[in-house]
Amino acid sequence: MQNFMYYVPTKIHFGTDQLGYLSELKESGSKVLLVYGGGSIKRSGLYDAAMKVLVEAGLEIFECAGVEPNPRIQTVRRGVEICKENKIDMVLAIGGGSTIDCAKVIAAGAVYEGNAWDLVINPPLIKAALPIYSVLTLSATGSEMDAFAVISDLTKNEKWGTASDCMKPKMSILDPTLTYTVSKKQTAAGTADMMSHTFENYFNFVEGSEMQAGFAESILRCAVKYGPIALEDPTNYDARASLMWCASFAINGTLNAGCAAAWCVHPMEHELSAFYDITHGEGLAILTPVWMEYILSEKTAPRIAQFGRNVMNVTEKDDMAAAKEAIAALKTFFFETMGLPANLRAVGIVEKDNFEVMAQKAANGCVGSYVPLSKEDIVEIFNRAF
Ligand code: NZQ
Ligand code: ZN
């Protein structure tokens, strides 16, 4: 196992009726910037319920609304301005990963003198951030308990992940019932996203990391079991709760502690989103089986076969044959059981003009991955996914 530093400072309040814990925000001061998306929290009544707690706690509330899926740097800048003008003490995100990511970079930008985009493309510049709180409404990204934030500038076809320990939320409320209203499309995409985070951590060649691999397999088994239940029965509490906790642990540093490898499917997907503004989890579902087929070799077959046997009920003894069965089973799960789009044309990408540029950027972003990928490899993966 490799050396590692493990730091997960986020306090989690998990379960039903946890909103009262928003009164804990008083620990960080009195002025709160509330960040939220396109209106789902107003339609569900969550906005009113949260406001009631915040007002009763004596907090002064400012708002940055309208965070886009694939959050834009322009929205981050708007939030930063509100923080600086009003001497905001803390940031509260209520929403999915996009809202939380946007809130994180607003919190860091609020205490940074320069342009907030600097913090997206150069993470070491993030030296401090206002305290960040979240109420999660969509199980997918794990942003509620991790250091990452992914921000886009679609005017330049750029989408980059940044990270800092100081952007890990101080407290997050995880109430599975708040995800009952998530659409089938976003439920499926979220399930694919948490599985992809798990795969990115699970596929490594580090000896002596059975605990991490077993934990990853457990998350994958839960996603495969509960994703379809949540699709069929959106108010199934155990399904929503399991997906929520799986999503947090897929990326909070537990699975890759001591066995880290650079991620590679994510850098490829971020290029799809940067150029075509597609839903992150759908892009991952399309790319993941193609990537697995592309990297399948005598060297990688044992781990892919292990995934097949321990997650997808593959019984084949030969590793290469079992790995092929595992990939086929994953395709069936994503594209038939979960109803996810199966190729790039299905998400509206109808030409290949940008593949070369996208592949070069993705290749720069995945140096040190499980199987090294060149620009040419990635162009081929995009072509096969087309
Ligand atoms: O904007 P609103 O109106 O809230 O609607 C959202 C949005 O349209 C809706 N939604 C959220 N909760 C809902 C709901 N609708 C009904 N009921 C609810 N309870 O769902 C839509 C998608 O929301 P979004 O936040 O964009 O989804 P997700 O959580 O999947 O976040 C995706 C973003 O996170 C980034 C992705 O790249 C993408 O930009 N990622 C962040 C990571 C991180 N911070 O660690 C890692 C990931 O790999 C990922 O890259
Ligand atoms: Zn992801």
Share of the chain above pLDDT 90, in %: 100
Q: Whose CA is nearest to atom 33 of ligand 1?
A: 98
Residue 274: predicted pLDDT? 96
| Mean per-residue pLDDT, 117-123 | 98
Q: Across residues 75-84, what is the average pLDDT? A: 98
d(CA 128, CA 124): 10
Instruction: Locate the ligand 1 atom nearest the alpha carbon of residue 161 and give its number.
Output: 50
DSSP H or E segment with residue 218: helix 210-232
One domain, residues 122 and 233? no
**Ligand 1, atom 22, residue with closest C-alpha:** 69
Going from the Cα of 325 to the center of ligand 1, the distance in angstroms, rounded, reads 31
Q: Clarify whether residues 253 and 315 are in a common domain.
A: yes
Q: For a pocket test of ligand 1, which of 42, 64, 70, 98 has the largest count of ligand atoms closer than 8 A to its C-beta?
A: 98
Distance from chain centroid for Cα 365: 17
Structure letter (DSSP) for residue 313 = -
**What total of structural domains would you count in the chain?**
2
pLDDT of 299 reads 98
Q: Which residues line ligand 1 (CB under 6 A)?
A: 37-41, 69-70, 95-99, 101, 137-138, 140-143, 146, 148-150, 178-179, 181-182, 186, 190, 193, 251, 266, 280-281
How many CB atoms sit inside 10 A of residue 368's CB?
Answer: 10
Query: 139 CA to middle of ligand 2, Å?
Result: 11
What pLDDT sits at residue 94? 98
Contact between 259 and 279 (Cβ < 8 Å): no
How far apart are alpha carbons 69 and 137 in whole angstroms?
A: 13
Is residue 32 helix, strand or coil?
strand
Mean pLDDT, residues 20-28 = 98
Residues 379 and 290 in one domain: yes
DSSP 354: T
**pLDDT, position 22:** 98
Instruction: Provide the pLDDT for residue 340.
Output: 98
Which atom of ligand 1 is closest in space to residue 36's alpha carbon? 4
CA of 27 to the centre of ligand 2 (A): 31
Can you give the residue range of the structural domain that contains 285? 182-385
> Rounded to the nearest whole angstrom, what is the distance from the C-alpha of residue 197 to the centroid of ligand 2?
6
C-alpha to C-alpha distance for 384 and 386, rounded to whole angstroms: 5
Distance 190 CA to ligand 2 centre (A): 8
Tokens 């199987």 found at: 371
Beta bridge partners of 158: 153
- Domain shared by 243 and 303, yes or no: yes
Output the pLDDT for position 84: 98
Whether 165 and 210 map to the same domain: the answer is no
What is the model's pLDDT at position 148?
A: 98
Picking from 162, 159, 167, the residue whose alpha carbon sits closest to that of residue 72 is 159
pLDDT of residue 60: 98
Residue 2 domain flag: no
- Could you tell me if 131 and 262 lie in one domain? no
| Number of residues written out for the chain | 386
d(CA 114, CA 334): 42
Average pLDDT over residues 116-143: 98
Q: Which ligand is nearest to the CA of 279?
A: 1
CATH for 202: 1.20.1090.10
pLDDT of residue 71: 97
Q: Which helix (H) or strand (E) holds 172?
A: strand 171-174
Q: Which whole number is the average pLDDT over 115-138?
A: 98
Q: How confident is the model at residue 1 (pLDDT cuts 50, 70, 90)?
A: very high
User: What pLDDT is recorded for position 58?
Assistant: 98
Same domain, residue pair 75 and 212? no
CA distance 201 to 254: 9
Residues 188 and 172 in one domain: no
The answer to whether residue 4 sits within a structural domain is no
Mutation probe of ligand 1 site: the residue of 19, 36, 40, 187 with most atoms within 8 A of C-beta:
40
Q: What does the pLDDT average to over 190-206?
A: 98
Burial of 163 (0-12, 13-18, 19+ CB in 10 A): middle
Residues 210 and 153 in one domain: no
In terms of domains, do 128 and 157 share one? yes
Which residues of 10-59 form beta strands (DSSP E)? 11-14, 31-36
Last residue of a domain, one of 178, 197, 216: 178
Angle between helices 210-232 and 301-311 (to 10 degrees): 50
Of 119, 143, 178, the domain-final residue: 178
Q: Which residues, at least 6 apart from 120, have a Cβ–Cβ distance to it below 8 Å? A: 73, 105, 149, 151, 160, 162
Query: Residue 265: what pLDDT?
Result: 98
Mean pLDDT for the stretch of residues 88-95 = 98
Q: Is residue 1 part of a domain?
A: no
Listed residues 163, 178, 193: the one ending a domain: 178
Return all residues near 37 (Cβ < 8 A) that are at least 6 apart.
Answer: 65, 66, 67, 68, 69, 95, 96, 98, 99
> Residue 70 belongs to a domain with what CATH number?
3.40.50.1970
Which amino acid belongs to residue 27? E
- Cα dihedral 82, 87, 89, 91, rounded to 10, equals 10
pLDDT digits (tens, 9 = 90+) for 229-250: 999 999 999 999 999 999 999 9
Distance 155 CA to ligand 2 centre (A): 22
**Residue of 197, 280, 288 best suited for mutating to test ligand 1, as the one with most atoms within 8 Å of CB:** 280
Output DSSP code: residue 336. Answer: I
